Structures are given as C-alpha cells and as structure tokens.
C-alpha cells in the first residue's frame, strides 16, 4: 500500500489561548510527534489528551461532522483560513500536508463580528442574523405547488447550486483583510436570486441582507482572499452579482415590475 | 438478568403502548384521521408554547411549520447555528413516490419497499403515512429553493438508490442533506424574523421536566456561560437525532448524542428497539488509535466498484500485483443476482466475515477493496471522474491514496440508529405532551433503514405530521397556562443539573472523558456491533457496568462550569451512552432472532442469512425506566401486517 | 414578549443603520452602494488620467503644438459658451469625482477598520499575531490605501507645480505649458517625485480598473477573462506615457534649446499662437517636433 502509512513527524505548535471574550490572549508552545495519517483536528485531540493528563485545561476548538460539510470547524493555520490545502476545511486537512520540523501557528478566525469565545472558538452568529434578514423564500409549509410545475434551466440550477454549496464556516470573513462577509452573503443571494422560485423577493432580499451584513462586517475591496480560502471554492462572480442586484434593487421601479 | 413478567415470552401489546393507529384501511387512515383530529382555532394557537429541541431536518421543519401556524415556538440547538445539525452530512438523496420517471412507482410501492426493507419490524400505518407525504416534501423543498439535480429540460432528475428497482431518489449532488437542511433552516429563520420562533443557540438540553405526569418544559445549559435555565411550554418536541456515537467511532458528527432522548427516557418515555443499529458498508477503515470518527463514502460507489479481498491470508502484495486468480470477489460469488449491490446489512456482514478470516487488506488488515479498475478500463477516467470525482477527491484527501490508481479500502461503520423513543401514531412518547420526531424516535424504519429514507422521515415528521397531530392534544389544554418556571418542578430540575455539573468537576480522576468513551465504544462495537451472540452480549453486560463504575470514579474533567468547557459537555453525554449501551445489550439479548441491522449469529439460515422469528418477535420492544440501579422493564407492541405479506428476504 | 435580536445573537452590531436618505443619496449610505460610486468616480478619474496623458504627448511636438493643445481645451464649446467655461465645468466635475472618490475610500476604509478585530486599526492591515499568508490578494490590492494618499498628495503637488506655479516663481509662465514642464521636470528631485507618484498611480489603477468591474457588478463569463488584461493594459499605458515625461525631460528630450518663440507671458504666447497656426496651416506640424529634438 502506498500513501506513506505510519510516517511520523515532529511539529512545534503555537496555539492561541484565551480564557474568555474579554480576556487577553497568548500563544502557548507545544511539541507534537504525530503520524501523517492523522487529521489536523485529531492532532489537536491528542494535544488535548496530553494537556488533560498534565492537569491543564484542553484547548477549546470547534468541530462536528469532520467531513467538511457542517461548517463548524475553522481556525487560522499559519496565516491561512483552514490551512494550506485548497478547497479543504480544517477537519479534512491531514498532517501529511506538513513536514517534519514545521512550526504551526494556530489562531482563531478574527473579525469584530466574530468575537473569540474561548481559545480557538469564535461566535459566528452574525451570519445567522444575515440569513434572518431575508435569506429565504417565503413559502409556508403546504403552500408549494408541484415541484415540476416550474422548469428551472439546468445552467441556472447548477449555478445556484455552486452558490448553495456554502457551508457558512466564516473562512471568507476570516481571510478577508477587511473582515467583509461579501462572499457568504452573495452566495445566499446568488443561490436564491438565480432560481425562478426566488424572484418574487429578489430585490427586497438583496437590500435587507446587504444592509444587515454591513452592520457587522467590513467593506469589500475585491482582494479575492475569501474565494481562495473558501472550502467550497465559491466564486467571486457571486459578489459581482450581488453588487449589481443591490444597485438595481435601489434604482429600479419595483412597484411596476411586480417584484418585491 | 432480572426479568419482569412482560418479557419476550409473553404475548399481546402492553397496555402502556397504545399506538393510537386509527381504524380503517391502511391507505385511508391518515386522510381520515386528519379530519377526525381536533383543531386549534387560529386565534388560540398563539396561546400555546411549544418547545422544539434540535434543529436538524425534523426539528427545523417542525419549528418553522408550527411557527407558521401561529404557535409560540422556542427552538433549541446546542450548535452555534441551527444549520449545523448532522442532517447536513447526508449525501445520497431523499425518496419520494413522485413517479416522475414513469417507471411504476407509487405511494403503495414506496410503502411496501420500506416495510420490507425494514425487515417487517415497523408499524404499517406510520410507514404508509410516510410514503403519502413524501411527495409533498419534494414540492416544499423545491419551492424553498433547494437545488435538486435537474435534467436538460429543467425538470427534476431521479436516480435509483440502495438497490431500489424504481428511480425515486431526488438528490442534490453529494450534499442532499445539506441542501434540504438549508431549506428547513431558512424556513426556520423566516419565522425567527417574524417573531413566532424564539431561537436559542448553544443551549443543550439536560433535563425534561414533568408536572403531574405531563411534560411541561426542559432545562438547558448555555454552553458558553454555563448558565442553567428552565423553559416551560405546553408541549415539548425532541428532534435530537440518533445515538450512533455510543460506538465512539461512527459516521455521526462528533457532538451527536443520546442525552435528550435518554433524559426523557429517565423521566418516563419508553425507549424502543435500542438494538436496531445500522451499519453502512462503505466507509473508510480506521487508520490508527487516534482516529476520531469515520467517514462515509456514498453507497452509489457500489454501482461501479467491485468488492474483493485476496484469496490467501495475510497477502501483503499491492492490489495491482495480485493476479485475478488470487482474488475473491466474494459478493459476486455468493450473490450472483445482486452482486455488489446487496443491501447494506448483507454487504457489511460479509466484509466482517472476510476480515475475521484474516483476509482483510490495508496496513491494519481491516478493510476490503472497492476496485474501479475494471470500470475505468471500460468507461475511461473522465466518465468515472464526472460521476464520482468529488468522492474520489475526498478519499484521496483523507487517506493520501489515489483511488484512480489503486482500489479504495472500505469497511463498514455505524451510520444510523433505527431505535429511539417509542412514539404513537401522533408521534407522542409515553409521556403526555412529550413528542419525538426524526431519527430520535423509533417509528418508521423497523429493523433496517433503506437508503435515502432518513431525510424523508425527518422532514415528513416535521413538516407534515407533527403540525397536525400536536393540535389534537393541545386543543384539550385550552385555557391552561404553561407551568411557571419558578414552580418547584423546575427549580428542582435546575438544581439537579447544576449538581451534576459540579459532580463531574469534583471527581478529578486520571482519565479523560474521551478515553472512557473510546473504551466503551470498543465494547459496544465488539459485542453489539455487526454480529451479536449470547455470550458476547452477556460479556458486554458485565464489561459495561464495570467500566461505567470506573468512569464515575476516575474521570478527569478540568476547568469550570461557567465557561465553554467541552470536556464537561462530553462527560454528561458519555454517562448517558453508558446507560444506553447496557440497554442495547439487554435488548439485543432478549431479541432472539435476526432482523435487519440486528444479526444474532445463533439465528441464521443455512446460507448465513438473517433468520427472523415472526411468531415470537413481530413486535416492538419498548423499555420502561424505573430508577437508578433497577433494570428497565421490557414492554411490547405487537405489529400486524395486513398489507405487506411477511416473507424472507433473499438476494441470491 | 418576543425575543430581541440581542437575546438571540450575542454579537452586537459593529455599527447601526441610520435613517434612510432620499434617493439617490441612499445609494451612498451603504458600503456596496458607496463602492459603486467609488467605481464610477474611479472610472471617470481613469478616463481623465488617460486623456490627460494622451493630450500631454503633444509636448513631444514642441512648444507651439503644446500651446495650441492647451488653448483648444479652453475653447471647447466654441462660441456658444464663454471661453474656458466648459473647461471649468470639467474641472468642477473632476474635482467632485476626486473628492467623492477620496471620501468613499476613507469612510469605507474606516468601516473595514472597525470590522476587524482590533477596532480602529486601519483596515487592509488586519493582523493575525502569527502572520498572514495572502494567497489571492495582490500587492496592488493590499496597497490601495497607500497608493491612494500618495496620488492625492501628488495631485496637490502637481497643481501647485504646473498650474499655480508656486515654486517655479519667476520661471513660471502662465499659458506656456511647454516651458513650465521643461523647467519643472528638468529639475531632478521633481522628476523623481513624478516617477514615484506615477508608479503609484499605475499600481492603483492596476487593481482599481479590475476591481471596478466587480463593484459595478459587471460580470459576464464571455469577457471576464479580459478584465484583468484590460486593467493591466490600462495601467501599463498610463505608466509608460506618464513616466516618459520626467524621464525624457531628464534625458534632455524636453528642453528649450531649439525654441523659436521667446519665453514670456505676452509676446511668447502670441508667437506660439501664431507659429502653431502657421504650422497647422502649412502642414509642418510634425516638423516642429524638430524643435524639441537635440
């Protein structure tokens, strides 16, 4: 069997520790010897085992599905959101991406809208707030017509899907030098705005979601860091789509085009 | 083993388990029952508080639908966002009897397949209702903007899944669960914005509160501040998922647990069929001791991959160096008709058999090959990459091996639990006012769940069943206010939860919670895993309590209860897993037959297939809690099969 | 008693949304709208820079053609409007664009600063204690807020230098751009300032011209791949054109050795006017470039 099973590397970890939202933080240094087959988070699990055994409190970090789909995990690894591997959430990153002797700096996602809760865990609830502002199609349970009543061109469906693939992990905000949430918000606006079902509320949705986003996050300067960090590789094109729709929403005569 | 009078040997449904299945023909029951149930006037709905715990497919869809109806809903999730529930990880698809492909599907066929697939251990009336509302789910999800796969004409695409003979599975690339959950979550957030649903995130249920034998609320712990808070309501709905993490290693998310269901069980809700657990045959094998969870590879891979192991023991050659003559395509050999597409339980057990024989492959000899070389040679790399590209990439990322060049290594893993809180036709548990929906209940899958049916059941319960049935019960409570949270039942429950937190922190033993959980998982996997036998189960009933004692005296939980403390959270969950594991073993021991996911090696046909005992075990086993240190009592609900004739499954 | 937003989400907004202004001012209230305005003004400013650069190439045709070009700007609009009227309107427009571009840049930058964890710190510099590994952001995109102020300061310098003639003093001749350019850019420190500022300008446009499409939402798979090319070409053209002035002035290509008209406000300008018309009339315009050749 190939794949370098059983190889072991030694790495130095500089891990951000912070007791609470308003406490000062610090870096703790730990040395880990670890199999390259371990995932990055399993490496942290082992670190926590060692800390616990030594009577020190384990490092708080979040993860859940460990399959790259729930969006719970996410830390900055050597200055990159979710670490060095492209299109990979922290939980799917494996130690074979690192070399013997590496120093690995692990920090929480940082943004004013993502206050640190403890150690590497942050509060990303402003993302839910943005969805609450309009990230839905208003259709009550039972009110739907037959699913095949409205054909959706395959290209539109595929494009919408590319946007809908967003897992809400917040890496885009973390990676953005401006702490902007444009990629997240535009993914939702793009997903719903591209589908026929989403047309009725297209303009009001764009307006309220963008304006809510701006209560928490910075302004986009088109660096493109978000898309690079995105584990689902969501395209910057959706940001352009959102920008255009926002201006349209403000300018167009919505009363006479029959759209809300 | 203490045995009460109402054991497997007895007959007849326990008086405590009134399923409330309406009379009449199976196909008409739900339609007629919708009319006969009491309604709550729209103006009165706002006078009722309903608590929904969990915001996965079942919880989010229920909370949103109840909010739309006008109830005052409080939704709780222990995640930071409702969107993170583990429903999100479902890959394959969702079944619905739409018959869009015109291939002969119907509500009755979906009903029939589900009852049969469940190995005749589910309630016919519930399954029929599930099949009926399945079509509405697709309509609802599509209207919400769920981007299901479409053909070039813009209409919805279907595929055949899990060996079904019709194409009734709707899918959204490999992330059907995530897309459906985002749909339900957005519906939920719309109600949150409308003010009909209060949203409580990072709030973990730690107790269910009863007053005069009726559920009146819950106690939660805020995972960030540690604050313990009572919440009262007229009804409590548990949509808290399954208990697969009792095995430690499973495809479930790290935080999945049985705590909500278990604490409800300890307050009087019967726990049904805990031994029914489902093994998924195509997961990536364990690679080392540090492994934290297992990753599922979609079952669709078996459509094109060939499963094999070397003929000889301990064959250390690379797959490419093993000639055809030295390979054993054991599924194709044993089941010529179905080949690699036999149902999940059969594929899983056979993999275990060859590994137990010492023919397993990989560095730990704990897997079998899933080989794509033949199909790549036939269709080309591009065709395979278009079909399975993302799965191949995921496998490559995790194992560091390229499946285009060498076969995948796979092994079965725990994936879903069919058992759960016993519920009646209204989805109410044995505690009045306490409901359970989705994977948390036991209702629709019998002893084995078919592929693409979990999403269907979660959404059916949340969107189209509970919103109707809950009104029937609430209508009778009109004029009653919810029990105030300063009532002694709440203050006592809050104190109990706070004391529990203090207890964990004061033990200060030597081993971490995870170490105990891992050890427990090993016992459960070994003895209550893919194949069970009397001796093993009895061994488990000795080992589990011993380890449990150690856990309560030697676990080390550091830190404080007033901050985010993940070890503390886990301690409570693992404690509940210990108690559940014991019940699983007892349930498996009592069920002297093999059915679906429950395979007792003493009960198999000459060909090694599961041997049901319909005469003695065509019933649901529901366990009643008494008190700490006293064994639960086994009750039974007899199952009758009027529309689907009992038969032996065969895949030869 | 409904749950409040604060109870639901523990994270307070970084800023609150004020009352909405009347249309179209409300566009400027949001960051997305403001970026749109910034893109439009940026586009206008790029247009100006491009025209300004192309127009200035007349300097290589000699003092007379340069004078004529400058005059032609004053007489845009023909006899319909007072002389210089349209030019002043254009200047006003340019000034407005410049101020709005600047204002939006400063306010948006402050907004991003407030949104990064260390509130108040200028954005674009959000710090990770362990360092930051940029993957997509270009050096240009990350230095917009440095090249921007450099350009703003340079514009003031440029106006003071060649429009108001602050430090040329007696050597400054109103209405004779050729002379003024030759005088000013012939001085090495000034030439260096021009070189540095124009590199900053091209750098700024390199990101700005691409970013503009994103902010305006102009996005089409058919030509998306051209956006980067266009931005590079624009920045390159402007860089080469604008750098040629100080460099060639230093190299002695813009000097007054062969000058035929006297330098001076009245007699010099009158001579240039005459010569320019004469050259144009006889078709010897190109010959006059000979006057700038050594």
Residue B359, in any domain of the structure: yes
B542 lies in which domain range? 488-619
Angle at C163 between CA C162 and CA C168, to 5 degrees: 50
Q: Which residue has the higher pLDDT, B42 or B160?
A: B42
N-to-C CA span, chain A? 59
pLDDT (average), residues C125-142: 81
Residue A140, in any domain of the structure: yes
ipTM reported for the complex surpasses 0.90 = yes
- Residue C126 binned pLDDT confidence (cut-offs 50, 70, 90): low
pLDDT at position C285 over 50? no
Contacts of A20 in chain B (CB under 8 A): 563
Quick check: B195 and C3 CB within 8 A? yes
Taking only Cα atoms into account, the Rg of chain A, rounded to an integer number of angstroms, comes to 21
Quick check: C11 and A216 CB within 8 A? yes
Residues paired with B231 in a beta bridge: B218
Residues C23-43 pLDDT 10s: 999 999 999 999 999 999 999
pLDDT at position B345 over 90? no
pLDDT at position C124 over 90? no
- Residue B3 binned pLDDT confidence (cut-offs 50, 70, 90): very low
CA-nearest residue of chain C to A243?
Answer: C217
Q: Could you say which of B413, B446, B479 is where a domain stops?
A: B413
pLDDT (average), residues A38-61: 97
Indicate whether A39 and A155 sit together in one domain: no
Residue A3, in any domain of the structure: no
Contacts of B398 in chain A (CB under 8 A): 39, 92, 94
Asked if residues C12 and C6 have their Cβ atoms less than 8 Å apart, the reply is yes
Residue C13, in any domain of the structure: no
Predicted local distance difference test score (pLDDT) of residue A260: 64
CA-nearest residue of chain C to A13?
Answer: C130
pLDDT at position C118 over 50? yes
* Residue A10, min C-alpha distance to chain B (Å): 16
Residues B33-42 pLDDT 10s: 999 999 999 9
Contacts of B198 in chain C (CB under 8 A): 2-3, 8
**Total structural domains in chain B?**
2
Contacts of C33 in chain A (CB under 8 A): 246-247, 250
pLDDT (average), residues A77-87: 95
Quick check: A129 and C5 CB within 8 A? yes
Residue B312, in any domain of the structure: yes
Of B250-254, C238-242, C245-249, C278-282, which gets the smallest average pLDDT? Answer: C278-282
Contacts of B195 in chain C (CB under 8 A): 2-3
pLDDT at position C120 over 90? no
Q: Are strands B214-222 and B203-211 parallel, antiparallel or unpaired?
A: antiparallel
* Residue B201, min C-alpha distance to chain C (Å): 8
Task: Assign residue B306 the CATH number of its domain.
Answer: 3.90.700.10
Asked if residues B524 and B247 have their Cβ atoms less than 8 Å apart, the reply is yes
Contacts of B224 in chain C (CB under 8 A): 10
CA B506 to chain centre: 34
What is the DSSP track for C18-32? -PPPPTTGGGGGSHH
Indicate whether A99 and A133 sit together in one domain: no
pLDDT at position B583 over 70? yes
Q: Which residue has the higher pLDDT, B112 or C122?
A: B112
pLDDT at position C159 over 50? yes
Indicate whether A183 and A98 sit together in one domain: no
Q: Could you say which of A118, A146, A180 is where a domain stops?
A: A118
Task: Assign residue C51 the CATH number of its domain.
Answer: 1.20.1300
Residue B88, in any domain of the structure: no
Quick check: B80 and A133 CB within 8 A? no
Predicted local distance difference test score (pLDDT) of residue B342: 85
Contacts of C207 in chain A (CB under 8 A): 222
Indicate whether A131 and A57 sit together in one domain: no
- Residue B607 binned pLDDT confidence (cut-offs 50, 70, 90): confident
**Candidates C31, C36, C110, partner chain A, best to mutate (most A CBs within 10 A):** C31
B72 in active site: no
Tokens of B354: 């060859």
Could you give the CA distance from residue C66 to residue C80 in angstroms, rounded to a whole number?
24
pLDDT at position B390 over 90? no
Residues of A (17-46) whose Cβ lies below 8 Å from C: 25, 27
Judged by DSSP in three states, B272 sits in: strand
Residues A208-235 pLDDT 10s: 999 999 999 999 999 999 999 999 999 9
Residues B269-283 pLDDT 10s: 999 999 999 999 999
**Candidates B68, B84, B144; nearest CB to A64:** B84
**Total structural domains in chain A?**
2
Residues B608-652 pLDDT 10s: 888 999 999 999 999 999 999 999 999 999 999 999 999 887 777
Q: What Cα–Cα distance (Å) separates residue B434 from each residue in B185, B230, B579, B627, C165?
A: 23, 16, 21, 20, 86
Could you give the CA distance from residue B75 to residue B64 in angstroms, rounded to a whole number?
9
Tokens of C167: 């430090």
Residues B413-433 pLDDT 10s: 999 999 999 999 999 999 999
Task: Assign residue B496 the CATH number of its domain.
Answer: 1.20.58.100
Quick check: B290 and A45 CB within 8 A? yes
Could you give the CA distance from residue A181 to residue C32 in angstroms, rounded to a whole number?
12
Quick check: B143 and A143 CB within 8 A? yes
Quick check: B295 and A143 CB within 8 A? no
Phi, psi of B306, deg, nearest 5: -110, 130
Q: Could you say which of A60, A93, A118 is where a domain stops?
A: A118
A54 lies in which domain range? 9-118
Touching partners of C (3+ C-beta pairs < 8 Å): A, B
pLDDT at position A257 over 90? no
Predicted local distance difference test score (pLDDT) of residue C284: 41
Could you give the CA distance from residue C140 to residue C206 in angstroms, rounded to a whole number?
7
pLDDT at position B365 over 50? yes
Residue C220, in any domain of the structure: yes
Find the helix or strand (DSSP H, E) in which B36 lies.
helix B26-36
Residue A4, in any domain of the structure: no
- Residue C278 binned pLDDT confidence (cut-offs 50, 70, 90): low
Indicate whether A64 and A174 sit together in one domain: no
Predicted local distance difference test score (pLDDT) of residue A5: 59
Quick check: A4 and B563 CB within 8 A? no
* Residue A20, min C-alpha distance to chain C (Å): 14
Find the helix or strand (DSSP H, E) in which A249 lies.
helix A237-251
CB of C1 within 8 Å of a chain B CB? The answer is no
> CB count, 10 Å around CB of B314?
10
Q: Could you say which of A118, A142, A167 is where a domain stops?
A: A118
Indicate whether A137 and A195 sit together in one domain: yes
Predicted local distance difference test score (pLDDT) of residue A99: 96
pLDDT at position A94 over 50? yes
Indicate whether B397 and B522 sit together in one domain: no
Predicted local distance difference test score (pLDDT) of residue C292: 33
Residue A182, in any domain of the structure: yes
Residue A2, in any domain of the structure: no
CA-nearest residue of chain C to B81?
Answer: C9
* Residue B328, min C-alpha distance to chain A (Å): 18
**Candidates A110, A126, A220; nearest CB to C117:** A110
pLDDT at position A171 over 70? yes
Angle at B624 between CA B621 and CA B625, to 5 degrees: 140
B with C: how many residue pairs have Cβ under 8 Å apart? 10
**Candidates B82, B288, B565; nearest CB to A38:** B288
Q: How many helices (H) and strands (E) does chain C have?
A: 10, 0
Residue B630, in any domain of the structure: no
pLDDT at position A170 over 90? yes
Q: Which residue has the higher pLDDT, A220 or C291?
A: A220
Predicted local distance difference test score (pLDDT) of residue A259: 66
Residue A46, in any domain of the structure: yes
**Candidates B49, B198, B481, partner chain C, best to mutate (most C CBs within 10 A):** B198
C173 lies in which domain range? 28-116+140-291
pLDDT above 90 coverage of chain C, percent: 59
**Candidates B154, B177, B566; nearest CB to A152:** B154
CB of C8 within 8 Å of a chain B CB? The answer is yes
Predicted local distance difference test score (pLDDT) of residue B9: 43
State whether the Cα torsion B396-B399-B402-B404 is positive or negative. negative
* Residue A23, min C-alpha distance to chain B (Å): 12
Residue-averaged pLDDT of chain B? 94
Q: Is the peptide bond before C24 cis (omega within 30 degrees of 0)?
A: yes
Task: Assign residue A249 the CATH number of its domain.
Answer: 1.10.1060.10
Residues 6 or more apart in contact with residue A223 via CB below 8 angstroms: A176, A177, A178, C134, C136, C137, C138, C141, C142
Residue among A179, A57, A40, A59 at smallest CA distance from A115: A179
Indicate whether A250 and A135 sit together in one domain: yes
**Total structural domains in chain C?**
1
Q: What Cα–Cα distance (Å) separates residue A32 from each residue in A5, A8, A52, B73, B292?
A: 18, 10, 15, 47, 17
A with B: how many residue pairs have Cβ under 8 Å apart? 233
Predicted local distance difference test score (pLDDT) of residue B174: 84
Residue C262, in any domain of the structure: yes
pLDDT above 70 coverage of chain C, percent: 90
Indicate whether A129 and A109 sit together in one domain: no
Contacts of A63 in chain B (CB under 8 A): 254
Tokens of C148: 């921007």
Indicate whether B402 and B494 sit together in one domain: no
Touching partners of B (3+ C-beta pairs < 8 Å): A, C
Task: Assign residue A28 the CATH number of its domain.
Answer: 3.10.20.30
A with C: how many residue pairs have Cβ under 8 Å apart? 201
* Residue C126, min C-alpha distance to chain A (Å): 5
Quick check: B68 and A141 CB within 8 A? yes
- Residue B316 binned pLDDT confidence (cut-offs 50, 70, 90): confident
Quick check: C8 and B199 CB within 8 A? yes
Asked if residues C198 and C242 have their Cβ atoms less than 8 Å apart, the reply is yes
Q: Which of B109, B129, B263, B344 is catalytic?
A: B344
Quick check: C217 and A244 CB within 8 A? yes
- Residue C224 binned pLDDT confidence (cut-offs 50, 70, 90): confident
């Amino acid at each position: 069997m190939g794949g370098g099973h059983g190889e072991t590397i030694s790495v130095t970890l500089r891990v951000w520790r912070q007791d609470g939202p308003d406490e000062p933080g610090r870096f703790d240094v730990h040395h880990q010897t670890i199999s390259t087959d371990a995932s990055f988070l399993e490496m942290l699990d082992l670190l926590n085992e060692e800390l616990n055994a030594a009577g020190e409190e384990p490092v708080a970090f979040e993860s859940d599905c460990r399959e790259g789909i729930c969006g719970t995990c996410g830390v900055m690894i050597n200055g990159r959101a979710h670490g060095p591997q492209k299109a990979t959430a922290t939980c799917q990153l494996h130690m074979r991406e690192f070399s013997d002797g590496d120093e690995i700096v692990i920090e929480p996602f940082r943004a004013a809208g993502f206050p640190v809760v403890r150690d590497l865990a942050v509060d990303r609830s402003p993302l839910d707030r943005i969805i609450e502002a309009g990230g839905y199609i208003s259709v009550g349970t039972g009110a739907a017509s037959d699913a095949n009543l409205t054909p959706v061109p395959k290209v539109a469906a595929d494009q919408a899907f590319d946007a809908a693939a967003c897992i809400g992990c917040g890496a885009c905000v973390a990676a953005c030098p401006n702490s902007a949430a444009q990629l997240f918000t535009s993914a939702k606006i793009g997903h719903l705005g591209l589908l026929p079902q989403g047309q009725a509320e297209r303009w009001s949705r764009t307006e309220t979601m963008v304006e809510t986003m701006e209560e928490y996050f910075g302004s986009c300067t088109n660096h493109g860091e978000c898309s690079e960090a995105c584990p689902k590789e969501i395209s910057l094109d959706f940001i352009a789509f959102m920008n255009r729709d926002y201006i349209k929403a403000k300018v167009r005569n919505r009363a006479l085009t029959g759209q809300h | 083993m203490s045995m009460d009078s109402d054991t497997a040997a007895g007959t007849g449904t326990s008086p405590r388990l009134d399923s409330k299945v309406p009379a009449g023909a199976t196909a008409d029951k739900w339609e007629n029952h919708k009319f006969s149930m009491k309604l709550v006037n729209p103006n009165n709905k706002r006078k009722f508080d309903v608590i929904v715990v969990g915001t996965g497919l079942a919880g989010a869809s229920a909370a949103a639908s109840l909010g739309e109806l006008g109830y005052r809903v409080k939704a709780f999730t222990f995640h930071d966002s409702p969107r993170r529930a583990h429903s999100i990880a479902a890959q394959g698809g969702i079944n619905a009897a739409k018959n869009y492909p015109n291939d002969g599907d119907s509500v009755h066929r979906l009903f029939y397949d589900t009852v049969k697939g469940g190995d005749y251990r589910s309630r016919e009336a519930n399954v029929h209702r599930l099949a009926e509302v399945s079509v509405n789910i697709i309509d609802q999800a599509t209207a919400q903007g769920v981007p299901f796969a479409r053909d070039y004409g813009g209409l919805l695409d279907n595929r055949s899944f899990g060996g079904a003979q019709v194409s009734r599975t709707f899918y959204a690339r490999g992330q059907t669960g995530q897309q459906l959950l985002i749909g339900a979550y957005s519906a939920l957030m719309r109600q949150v914005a409308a003010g009909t649903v209060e949203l409580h995130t990072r709030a973990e249920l730690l107790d269910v509160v009863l007053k005069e034998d009726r559920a009146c609320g819950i106690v939660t712990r805020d995972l960030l501040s540690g604050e313990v808070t009572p919440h009262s309501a007229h009804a409590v709905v548990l949509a808290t998922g399954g208990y697969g993490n009792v095995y430690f290693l499973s495809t479930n998310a790290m935080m999945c647990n049985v705590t909500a269901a278990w604490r409800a069980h300890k307050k009087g809700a019967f726990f049904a069929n805990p031994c029914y657990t489902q093994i998924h045959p195509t997961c990536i094998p364990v690679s080392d001791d540090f492994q934290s969870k297992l990753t599922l590879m979609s079952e669709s891979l078996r459509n094109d991959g060939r499963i094999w192991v070397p003929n000889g023991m301990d064959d250390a050659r690379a797959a490419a160096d093993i000639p055809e003559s030295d390979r054993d395509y054991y599924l194709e050999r044993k089941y010529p008709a179905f080949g690699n597409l036999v149902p999940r339980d059969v594929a899983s057990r056979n993999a275990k058999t060859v590994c137990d024989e010492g023919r397993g492959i990989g560095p730990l000899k704990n897997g079998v090959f899933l080989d794509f070389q033949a199909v790549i040679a036939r269709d080309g790399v591009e065709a395979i990459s278009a079909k399975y590209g993302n799965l191949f990439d995921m496998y490559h990322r995790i194992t560091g091996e390229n499946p285009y060049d060498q076969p995948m290594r796979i092994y079965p893993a725990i994936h879903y639990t069919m058992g759960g809180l016993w519920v009646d036709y209204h989805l109410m548990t044995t505690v009045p006012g306490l409901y359970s929906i989705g994977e948390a209940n036991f209702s629709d899958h019998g002893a084995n769940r078919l592929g693409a049916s979990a999403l269907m059941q979660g959404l059916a319960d949340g969107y189209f069943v509970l919103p109707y049935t809950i009104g029937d019960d609430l209508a009778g409570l009109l004029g009653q206010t919810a029990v105030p949270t300063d009532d002694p039942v709440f203050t006592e429950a809050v104190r109990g939860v706070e004391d529990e937190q203090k207890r964990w922190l004061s033990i200060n033993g030597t081993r971490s919670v995870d170490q105990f959980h891992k050890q427990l998982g090993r016992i459960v996997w070994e003895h209550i895993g893919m194949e069970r036998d009397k001796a093993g189960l009895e061994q488990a009933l000795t080992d589990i309590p011993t380890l449990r004692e150690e856990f309560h005296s030697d676990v080390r939980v550091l830190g404080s209860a007033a901050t985010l403390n993940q070890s503390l959270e886990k301690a409570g969950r693992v404690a509940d897993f210990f108690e559940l594991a014991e019940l699983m073993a007892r349930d498996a021991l009592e069920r002297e037959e093999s059915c679906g996911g429950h395979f007792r090696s003493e009960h198999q046909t000459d060909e090694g297939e599961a041997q049901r005992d319909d005469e003695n075990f065509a019933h649901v086993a529901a366990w009643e809690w008494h008190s700490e240190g006293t064994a639960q009592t086994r009750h039974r609900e007899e199952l009758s099969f009027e529309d689907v004739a009992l038969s032996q499954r065969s895949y030869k | 008693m409904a749950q409040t937003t604060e109870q639901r989400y523990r994270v307070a907004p970084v800023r609150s949304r004020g009352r909405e202004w009347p249309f179209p001012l409300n566009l400027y209230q949001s960051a997305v709208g403001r970026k749109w305005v910034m893109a439009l003004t940026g586009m206008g400013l790029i247009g100006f820079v491009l025209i300004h650069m192309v127009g200035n190439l007349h300097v290589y045709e000699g003092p007379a053609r340069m004078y004529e070009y400058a005059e032609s700007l004053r007489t845009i609009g023909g006899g319909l409007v007072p002389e210089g009227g349209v030019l002043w309107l254009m200047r006003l427009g340019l000034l407005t664009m410049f101020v709005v571009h600047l204002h939006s840049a400063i306010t948006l930058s402050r907004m991003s600063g407030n949104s990064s964890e260390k509130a108040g710190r200028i954005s674009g510099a959000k710090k990770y204690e362990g360092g930051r590994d940029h993957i997509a952001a270009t050096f240009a995109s990350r230095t917009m807020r440095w090249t921007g102020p450099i350009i703003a300061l340079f514009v003031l310098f440029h106006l003071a230098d060649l429009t108001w003639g602050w430090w040329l003093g007696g050597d400054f001749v109103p209405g004779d751009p050729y002379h003024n350019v030759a005088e000013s850019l012939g001085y090495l420190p000034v030439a260096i300032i021009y070189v540095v500022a124009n590199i900053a300008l091209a750098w700024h446009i390199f990101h700005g011209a691409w970013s503009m499409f994103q902010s305006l939402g102009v996005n089409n798979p058919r030509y998306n791949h051209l956006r980067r090319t266009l931005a590079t070409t624009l920045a390159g053209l402007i860089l080469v054109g604008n750098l040629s002035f100080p460099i060639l002035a230093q190299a002695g290509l813009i000097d007054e050795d062969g000058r035929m008209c006297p330098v001076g406000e009245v007699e010099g300008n009158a001579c240039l006017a005459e010569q320019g018309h004469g050259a144009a009339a006889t078709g010897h315009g190109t010959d006059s470039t000979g006057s700038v050749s050594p």
